[in-house]
């Protein structure tokens, strides 16, 4: 009886325990991570194929009677005068941007939208400058609506609609580009201390940095024609210029430095002060990546100029160009560019990459054009005119890099190959915060020099300014043959600098700069100008140099036994076009 009673108690105990366990399990809830959505805009708002390109001073927009911007105007002297409240369509600051892709939800069933653009400022001209335009959206043909500063020019309406490309280049290692002429005659042109404002009106042409016209299809584009066709060019780093028929260049409105927004009225060049000019016409140096599509548009933009001896400034509009991205290029994970330079001896040489000749007939001190390859390991050879191999290396070449192959002699006169990756980014490292926030200083208009010693008869070379004055950083000090500097190798020269000279000194590890190598010709800064007629033809003085990315290399032999053709000298190789 007792045993039976114990069994019943035991069974009841286990039953109660199991029931409690099940009740605890059933009450247990799954714990989900709490995710805060901090996006300024959380609506699903797809874009249309229609863009607004704001080339005027409009900062507010109304769509179908509804304000999309904040219409807030802050006092310019109050604290936080730049902190405009955001809106759903413009979350950053509630103001119309330069390029605005119109959201699809603003179009009606006919794919049309009524937009009103306005300019609202605390003070100044154009406080109540509003105008309306009906825009449409097409899924077959993207379209841009250019808002023009018609208040300040004649010959153009307030808005111009223009179709843009919807396809990438046919060649995957190329980009597409066109030019659009929306220029006009400036109303009430200014008169400064140096003379009246020049008239930059007429057909325009796309040119490289040295003034060479790019293509017939992008030449002599009149305002009545509006736009050229798109052309395809190999990807790379370019400094495009826009020239009138007489060769005068149009400026671009620069950023990054106050001086880049200044012009000398009679020449549209960057001034040093009210009486002197740098003779530079601002044109940005920019990467054009494979697969990208770009438009260069010309229309008046607002510049400043010096109005008196105190260097006080006044604004004026002038026809200028700017670069707009139509289709953003994907990250370049495939292609690279490579060129070769003959620093060996006075004979024609060439280069082969995996058996493919990329250059031939390169004279002493000359460089080849660039060739495009894909990322992988290559067998690279330098060959003479008959195809005999002079030197060879095996090297992994990486995508999105720019390489230069240097063929030079060692102490025994044997040919050697030196492969250098060129930095075309236009950035310089800075003393940074611990987190690297301010670790780079980026430029769009710059003059970077890298120095090499490829002269075996000069064990140590230091490059200086006249009289041994230091030039830049340590990247040009005590350079040994065939050993490039890798710690901050580029010297940045201020655009405002006067013409100067580069000298070579024979130094030692413990003696800097050393003794002037008077047998090596001094290199004048004006020798960096590839085509001096670009300036002299239009009756203008030469600038101190020409912006870009360069390598200055000492090549040849010093001492007795060297011929005049192989005498030690400095050469210049430019890496952008």
| Whole-angstrom distance, CA of residue 457 vs CA of residue 476 | 17
Q: Which residues contact 199 (CB under 8 A, 6 or more apart)?
A: 185, 186, 189
The predicted pLDDT at position 437 comes to 65
Q: Distance (Å, rounded) from C-alpha 521 to C-alpha 516?
A: 11
Can you give the pLDDT at residue 175?
98
Q: What DSSP line would sit under 297-319, residue for residue?
A: EEEEEEEEEE-STT--EEEEEEE
Compute how many other C-beta atoms are within 10 angstroms of the C-beta atom of residue 459: 16
Could you tell me which of 138, 123, 21 has the C-alpha nearest to residue 81? 123
pLDDT-wise least confident of 76-85, 173-182, 347-356, 452-461: 76-85
pLDDT > 70: percent of the chain: 92
Kindly report the number of other CB atoms within 10 A of residue 565's CB atom: 13
- Strand 143-147 and strand 47-54: the pairing is parallel
Q: Report pLDDT digits (tens) over 512-535.
A: 999 999 999 999 999 999 999 999
Q: Is the pLDDT of residue 150 over 50?
A: yes
User: Is CATH 2.60.40 the right assignment for the domain spanning 333-422?
Assistant: yes
**DSSP of 516-564:** E-TTSPPEEGGGG-S-THHHHTTT----SS--EEEEEEEESB-STT--S
pTM of the model: 0.90
Q: Using alpha carbons, select from 328, 336, 418, 329 the residue that is nearest to residue 377.
A: 336
- φ/ψ bin of 361: left (φ > 0), alpha (ψ from -120 to 50), beta (otherwise): left
* DSSP3 helix / strand / coil % (the chain, rounded to 5): 10, 40, 50
pLDDT higher than 90, residue 563: no
**Number of other CB atoms surrounding residue 375 within 10 Å:** 16
Q: What is the mean pLDDT of the chain?
A: 92
Q: Are 547 and 561 in contact (CB under 8 A)?
A: no
Longest CA pairwise span in the chain (Å)? 127
Q: CB of 447 within 8 A of CB of 551?
A: no
What is the full DSSP assignment across 148-181?
Answer: --GGGEES--SEEEEE---S--SSTTEEEEEEEE
pLDDT for res 12: 55
Whether the pLDDT of residue 484 is over 50: the answer is yes
Pairing status of strand 174-181 against strand 293-306: parallel
Element (H, E) at 461: strand 461-464
Query: Tokens in use for 39?
Result: 């996006």
User: Does residue 36 have a pLDDT over 80?
Assistant: no
**113, 64 Cβ separation under 8 angstroms:** yes
Domain locations in the chain as residue ranges:
44-147, 164-332, 333-422, 437-577
Alpha-carbon gap, residue 460 to 33, rounded angstroms: 63
Specify the pLDDT at position 3.
Answer: 46
Q: pLDDT value at position 18?
A: 54
Q: What pLDDT is attached to residue 448?
A: 96
Q: How many residues does the chain have?
A: 577
67 in Cβ contact with 118 (< 8 Å): no
DSSP 257: S
> Are the beta carbons of 403 and 371 closer than 8 angstroms?
no
Pick the closest to residue 530 from 543, 551, 546, 542 (CA basis).
546
- Per-residue model confidence (pLDDT) at position 6: 46
What whole-number percentage of the chain has pLDDT above 90?
Answer: 81
Phi and psi at residue 257, in whole multiples of 5°?
-140, 145
Query: How big is the CA angle at 361 (ends 359 and 366), to the nearest 5 degrees?
Result: 85
Q: Is pLDDT of 385 > 90?
A: yes
Q: How many helices (H) and strands (E) does the chain have?
A: 2, 38
What's the CA gap between 462 and 526, in Å, rounded? 21
Q: Tell me the pLDDT band of 482, cut-offs 50, 70 and 90.
A: very high
Q: How far apart are CA 115 and CA 147, in angstroms?
A: 12
Distance CA 539, CA 553 (A): 32
CA-to-CA distance for 575 and 447, rounded, in angstroms? 12
Lowest mean pLDDT among 19-33, 116-130, 357-371, 499-513: 19-33
Q: Given the structure tokens 């580029």, which residue do they identify?
A: 490
Specify whether the CB–CB gap between 402 and 289 falls below 8 A: no
Please determine, for residue 343, whether its predicted confidence score (pLDDT) is greater than 50. Answer: yes
Per-residue pLDDT reduced to its tens digit, 44-86: 789 999 999 999 999 999 999 999 999 998 988 889 888 899 9
Among 154, 239, 247, CA closest to 205: 247
* The two structure tokens encoding residue 551: 């390598």
**C-beta separation of 278 from 272 below 8 A:** yes
CB 344 within 8 A of CB 390: yes
Please report which helix (H) or strand (E) contains residue 387, including its range: none
The pLDDT tens digits of the residues spanning 292-329 come to: 999 999 999 999 999 999 999 999 999 999 999 999 99
The mean pLDDT of 419-441, rounded to a whole number, is: 80
Q: How many CA atoms lie within 13 A of 491 on its CB side?
A: 21
Q: CB of 382 within 8 A of CB of 345?
A: no
Q: Are 442 and 455 in contact (CB under 8 A)?
A: no
- 258 confidence band (pLDDT: 50, 70, 90): confident
Q: What is the pLDDT of residue 383?
A: 98
Q: Checking DSSP bridges between strand 415-422 and strand 440-442, what pairing results, if any? A: unpaired
419 CB contacts (<8 Å, ≥6 apart)? 380, 393, 395, 403, 404, 405, 406
Q: 481: which 2 tokens?
A: 């043959």
Lowest mean pLDDT among 40-54, 336-350, 425-439: 425-439
Of the ranges 123-132, 157-166, 359-368, 374-383, which one carries the lowest mean pLDDT score?
123-132
For the segment 111-122, the average pLDDT, to the nearest whole number, is: 93
Instruction: Categorize the per-residue pLDDT at 7 as very low, low, confident or very high, splitting at 50, 70 and 90.
Output: very low
């Amino acid at each position: 009886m007792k045993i039976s009673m114990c069994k019943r108690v035991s069974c009841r105990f286990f039953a109660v325990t199991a029931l409690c366990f099940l009740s605890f399990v059933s009450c247990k809830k799954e714990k989900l991570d709490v995710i805060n959505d901090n996006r300024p805009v959380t609506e699903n708002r797809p874009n249309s194929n229609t863009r607004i390109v704001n080339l005027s001073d409009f900062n507010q927009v109304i769509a179908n009677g509804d304000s999309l911007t904040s219409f807030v105007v802050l006092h310019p002297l109050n604290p936080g005068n730049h902190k405009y409240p955001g809106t759903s369509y413009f979350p950053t600051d509630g103001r119309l941007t330069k390029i605005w892709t119109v959201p699809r939800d603003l179009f009606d069933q006919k794919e049309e939208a009524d937009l009103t653009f306005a300019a609202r400022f605390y003070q100044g001209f154009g406080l109540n400058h509003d105008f309306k335009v009906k825009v449409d959206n097409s899924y077959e043909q993207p379209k841009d609506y250019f808002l023009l500063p018609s208040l300040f020019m004649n010959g153009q309406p307030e808005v111009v609609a223009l179709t843009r490309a919807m396809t990438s280049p046919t060649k995957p290692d190329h980009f597409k580009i066109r030019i659009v002429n929306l220029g006009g005659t400036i109303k009430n042109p200014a008169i400064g201390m140096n003379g009246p404002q020049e008239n930059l009106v007429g057909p325009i042409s796309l040119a490289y940095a040295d003034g060479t016209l790019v293509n017939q299809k992008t030449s002599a584009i009149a305002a009545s024609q509006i736009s050229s066709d798109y052309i395809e060019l190999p990807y790379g780093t370019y400094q495009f210029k826009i020239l009138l028929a007489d060769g005068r260049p149009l400026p671009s409105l620069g950023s990054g430095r106050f001086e880049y927004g200044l012009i000398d009225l009679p020449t549209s060049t960057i001034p040093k002060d009210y009486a002197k000019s740098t003779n530079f016409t601002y044109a940005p140096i920019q990467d054009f990546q494979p697969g990208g599509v770009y438009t260069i548009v010309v229309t008046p933009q607002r510049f400043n100029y010096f109005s008196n001896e105190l260097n006080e400034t006044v604004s004026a509009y002038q026809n200028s160009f700017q670069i707009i991205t139509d289709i953003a290029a994907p990250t370049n994970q495939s292609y690279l560019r490579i060129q070769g330079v003959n620093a060996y001896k006075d004979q024609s040489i060439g280069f082969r990459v995996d058996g493919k000749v990329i250059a031939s007939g390169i004279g002493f001190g000359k460089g080849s054009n660039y060739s495009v390859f894909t990322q992988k390991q290559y067998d690279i050879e330098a060959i003479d005119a008959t195809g005999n191999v002079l030197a060879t290396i095996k090297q992994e070449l990486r995508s999105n890099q720019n390489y230069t192959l240097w063929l030079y002699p060692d102490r025994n006169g044997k040919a050697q190959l030196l492969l250098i990756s060129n930095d075309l980014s236009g950035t310089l490292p800075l003393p940074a915060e611990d987190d690297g926030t301010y670790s780079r200083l980026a430029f769009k208009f710059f003059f970077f020099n890298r120095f090499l010693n490829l002269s075996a008869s000069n064990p140590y070379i230091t490059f200086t300014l006249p009289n041994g004055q230091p030039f830049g950083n340590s990247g040009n000090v005590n350079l040994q043959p065939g050993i490039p500097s890798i710690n901050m190798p580029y010297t940045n020269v201020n655009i405002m600098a006067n013409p100067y000279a580069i000298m070579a000194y024979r130094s030692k590890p413990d003696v800097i700069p050393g003794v002037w190598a008077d047998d090596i010709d001094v290199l004048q800064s004006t020798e960096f100008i590839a085509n001096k007629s670009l300036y002299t033809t239009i009756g203008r003085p030469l600038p101190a140099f020409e912006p870009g990315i360069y390598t200055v290399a000492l090549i040849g032999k010093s001492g007795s036994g060297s011929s005049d053709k192989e005498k030690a000298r400095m050469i210049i190789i430019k890496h952008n076009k």
